[in-house]
Chain A
Amino acid sequence: MNAVWQENSGRFDDVLRNLDVLTLRGPASAADMFERHGVAAFHHADLSLFAPIEPREPVVDFGGATVVTDFFNKDFGGFVRSTSGPFSKLPYFNLADYDWSDAIATLATAGAVLTGRHHVMFAAVRARVPFILMDANTHKLADLLDAASAKLPVCKTQSEAVIALNRIKTNRIIYDRLFDWAEKQTPPKLLTQTPPQQPASVLPVHERLKDARLHLQFNRPRIAMDVIADLLEEGGVVPDAQLIAVSQASGEGWRAAQLVADRIVSSVSPLRWLSSIGRFGADAAGWDRLIPDSKAPIWWQSAVELFRNLKSPEVLVNEEQILNVLSLTNTAVEYEAARLAMEERASKLWRMDVAGILNKHVHKEELPMAYVEHVSAIFPARFHLFGDAEMNAAREQLVNPELVCQIRISYLVEYLRRSSSDKKQLLRDATSALDRVVGARHLLQVRVAAVALAVEDNEAAAKALSKAAIPQSIIQQCLVVSNFANKLVSPALAGLAGVDATDLGFSRRVGTQKNRIAVVGNGPLSSDISPDEIDDHDLIIRINDFLLGEAWGNNVDYHVTVLTGMIGFGQANLSRVRFGTLIRKADLPFQLTNWKPTAQILEFGHKVGFLPRLSRASLQKRIGTEVSTGLAILSEIAHLRQSMAGVSVFGMPLLCGDTDRRRVQSSVSHSRHFWESEALEFKRLRAK
């Protein structure tokens, strides 16, 4: 009882047939038992679901963090723990350290669990904590998902897991349904469980396949298809070659595709799905019938559209196909394009073609030159001349919609800033430019932000937003990322802008007195400051534009743990620093403001800190002028710590009452800062 069952030989078939009770852990196991051995078995959820649990305090409080366990590795033939890569830095959960009640109470403090362990999955279910599954040595994980009809992925690679983690919020309803389903399960009757009825007329699988082949041979393809369809609907496994032959001969490829799609819809990969169904030679009209109902994830519909264009998604090799894929700007589809490009054509295609194709087409479409220059500058920087590790990171950056979106927003803003002051023309240019940029769907988010920024027409922004066929959560992220959230004041957008990021780690870390903090502005640093003097702090907050090394009189390289504010556009060579060099130079965990997914993907830290908007607004109201990000940050720190003890300030001469050759005292400076007022406020903070 209570067993997974997979791919065993028939040497014990007689024993199986004579068991009084036989129960298995899920439909995949029951299907394997029936198909290989002709024995029907009752299946139920793992019995740990029915084990008694006591109310306990958590042994460890993970504070909502994603935790990781070990997972099965085929090379080692056993379970291994990740010691490098993005998951190595996550808190580790070892089920062997807990009894069942403690394990559930402890997991309940986590935000998500990444695991290859069957019983950790069940502990997460009982704790109602979302989980990401890494493929194991059997279908034991899929057994639960199949039983609960939960369309969740079982990830085969680290990259798939990263994507799945990023989708947890989107998939929350699926998890909740799974948890509800689990709570409704009743335990099997261990000694008296009646096996499911086995129809006497049902032939073993191989006999039915033989039957289908005979129908085909005697020119009865539709009957052959019926036999195959019955097999698939009963959960039987039909070899691809036979399914393709029957479906093509019967002219009912779409029907075969639908049957297969129904079984693999839980896959994380739409292109894998497309590859599978594409092989059945389905006619174009049939694809409409494959589009699920309106509740289907957007990527699915995108993938179907994609397939119409590609015809053969498994050979995704030419320029047009890559562009088609990229134009969907769908995380999963882009990911698959990248994966296929990497696997099928190796690094050469990805390193040379993708960057080149993107640049060429951006030029072809006659985008505004300022925009083109920036896009051209950043893509080669990100994709050319990288080694494998860097390429993997770049690939993951490309498929991250938030990253792509922010880059586009950043350069759009720069374009707007440098261009005409005619707002209507700006709007037309911006819309026109954005329409041509790869990424039609996320483009809508960009347009919302751009429109709001350019013409301060929030109603128009709201209207554009209403047409965006993307999850609201993604729009929220993009608005926050782009720092446009506080500019969107329309009631229709208010809900989107109201994201409270203060609970993402900044407040806790900054507010802890024992953490020594360095706040580094973008003013000149004294030549006698050594890198160690800054690096010795527990938390280093870097503000706005900056250069490493010898620039602006600074000759100091130091680590950065938190960035705040918008990173400036005025320094062309910063494009290299922003997402690559800086990060790789830093040994300390890197925290990128406003940007949790990217920080995770880049393997540098897991939390995000940025300036709470409300506190900045409050400060500005009190002082009566716009305040610099530096002062706002310092004010927030003083508020959180109730003191400035343990806080060092570098590169902020104006706040310290000194001079700065780039800025002017006694007058309103750039961004309407008034430095003397700020210096007075800073003095007041220090005296706290």
Chain B
Amino acid sequence: MMAPERAKSQRVFLSGDHSQYHGGSAAVISAIRRMLPDVTFAETGGPFDTLIVNGEGSMHHDSAHFVAKMEQLAAAQMLGKKPVW
């Protein structure tokens, strides 16, 4: 488990940004960004240290979204990233 002070230099890739879906999903992303003021959010394809997967309503009944997100986490673990979900 990472100590809190280490978070400050983190490059975080945020997966599961459903902001375009509706205002509620946008609010979730807004909250996440607000709660992590000291990290740098990585662009798609850019380097990152930590993978955050926003699961929201997709993690049920082995749905396609569930599988895709879990495979992202599995890949991050294989690459030695810090997977947060």
Q: Are B31 and A119 in contact (CB under 8 A)?
A: no
Give B25 Cβ to nearest chain A Cβ, in Å.
7
Could you say which residues of chain A place their CB within 8 Å of the CB of B52?
1, 190-191
Could you say which residues of chain B place their CB within 8 Å of the CB of A52?
30-31, 34
Tell me whether chain B's interface is mostly helix, strand or loop, or mixed: mixed
Q: Are B4 and A189 in contact (CB under 8 A)?
A: yes
Could you say which residues of chain A place their CB within 8 Å of the CB of B12?
191
Interface residues on B, range: 35 or more
Could you say which residues of chain A place their CB within 8 Å of the CB of B62?
7-9, 11
Contacts A122-B24, A189-B4 given; indicate if A51 touches B31 (C-beta within 8 A): yes
Q: Bound state CA distance, A135 and B6, in angstroms?
A: 42
Give A683 Cβ to nearest chain B Cβ, in Å.
57
Query: Which A29-82 residues have a C-beta within 8 angstroms of B?
Result: 46-52
Q: Are A191 and B36 in contact (CB under 8 A)?
A: yes
Q: Is A6 interfacial (CB-CB < 8 Å)?
A: yes
Could you say which residues of chain A place their CB within 8 Å of the CB of B59?
3-6, 8
Q: Is A120 interfacial (CB-CB < 8 Å)?
A: yes
Contacts A1-B84, A1-B85, A3-B85 given; indicate if A192 touches B1 (C-beta within 8 A): yes
Could you say which residues of chain B place their CB within 8 Å of the CB of A95?
22-24
Q: Bound state CA distance, A19 and B32, in angstroms?
A: 18
Could you say which residues of chain A place their CB within 8 Å of the CB of B26?
99-100
Q: Is A21 interfacial (CB-CB < 8 Å)?
A: yes
Contact with A along B7-44 (1 / 0, CB 8 A): 10010100000000111111110111011100100000
Q: Is A173 interfacial (CB-CB < 8 Å)?
A: no
Could you say which residues of chain A place their CB within 8 Å of the CB of B54?
1-3
Give A610 Cβ to nearest chain B Cβ, in Å.
39
Could you say which residues of chain A place their CB within 8 Å of the CB of B1?
20-21, 192, 194
Give A583 Cβ to nearest chain B Cβ, in Å.
37
Q: Is A12 interfacial (CB-CB < 8 Å)?
A: yes
Q: Are B2 and A120 in contact (CB under 8 A)?
A: no
Interface residues on A, range: 35 or more
Could you say which residues of chain B place their CB within 8 Å of the CB of A1?
32, 52-55, 84-85
Contact with B along A87-126 (1 / 0, CB 8 A): 0000000011011101100000000000001111011000
Contact with B along A589-628 (1 / 0, CB 8 A): 0000000000000000000000000000000000000000
Q: Are B3 and A192 in contact (CB under 8 A)?
A: yes
Contacts A21-B84, A22-B85 given; indicate if A50 touches B24 (C-beta within 8 A): no
In-complex Cβ contact of B27 among A4, A51, A140 (8 A) = A51
Q: Bound state CA distance, A600 and B11, in angstroms?
A: 55
Could you say which residues of chain B place their CB within 8 Å of the CB of A189?
4
Give A51 Cβ to nearest chain B Cβ, in Å.
4
Q: Are B60 and A20 in contact (CB under 8 A)?
A: no
Contacts A1-B84, A5-B59, A8-B66 given; indicate if A47 touches B23 (C-beta within 8 A): no
Q: Bound state CA distance, A192 and B50, in angstroms?
A: 12
Give A132 Cβ to nearest chain B Cβ, in Å.
18
Contact with B along A390-417 (1 / 0, CB 8 A): 0000000000000000000000000000
Q: Are B24 and A4 in contact (CB under 8 A)?
A: no
Q: Bound state CA distance, A140 and B59, in angstroms?
A: 10
Q: Are A118 and B22 in contact (CB under 8 A)?
A: no
Q: Is A137 interfacial (CB-CB < 8 Å)?
A: yes
Could you say which residues of chain B place their CB within 8 Å of the CB of A21?
1, 84-85
Q: Are B58 and A7 in contact (CB under 8 A)?
A: no
Q: Is B57 interfacial (CB-CB < 8 Å)?
A: yes
Residue in B21, B52, B85 with the greatest tally of chain A CB atoms within 10 Å: B85
Contacts A190-B52, A192-B1 given; indicate if A100 touches B85 (C-beta within 8 A): no
Q: Are B58 and A3 in contact (CB under 8 A)?
A: yes
Q: Is A18 interfacial (CB-CB < 8 Å)?
A: yes
Q: Are A118 and B57 in contact (CB under 8 A)?
A: yes
Q: Are A191 and B10 in contact (CB under 8 A)?
A: yes
Where the two chains meet, the residues of A that have a C-beta atom closer than 8 Å to any C-beta of B are 1-9, 11-12, 15, 18-24, 46-52, 95-96, 98-100, 102-103, 117-120, 122-123, 137-138, 140, 187, 189-192, 194
Give 11 A-B contacts (CB < 8 Å), ordered by A residue: A4-B55, A15-B73, A15-B74, A19-B83, A20-B84, A23-B85, A47-B28, A138-B57, A187-B31, A190-B35, A191-B12
With A1-B55, A191-B39 known, 4 other A-B pairs at CB within 8 A are A7-B60, A15-B83, A47-B28, A47-B32
Where the two chains meet, the residues of B that have a C-beta atom closer than 8 Å to any C-beta of A are 1-4, 7, 10, 12, 21-28, 30-32, 34-36, 39, 50, 52-62, 66, 70, 73-74, 77, 82-85
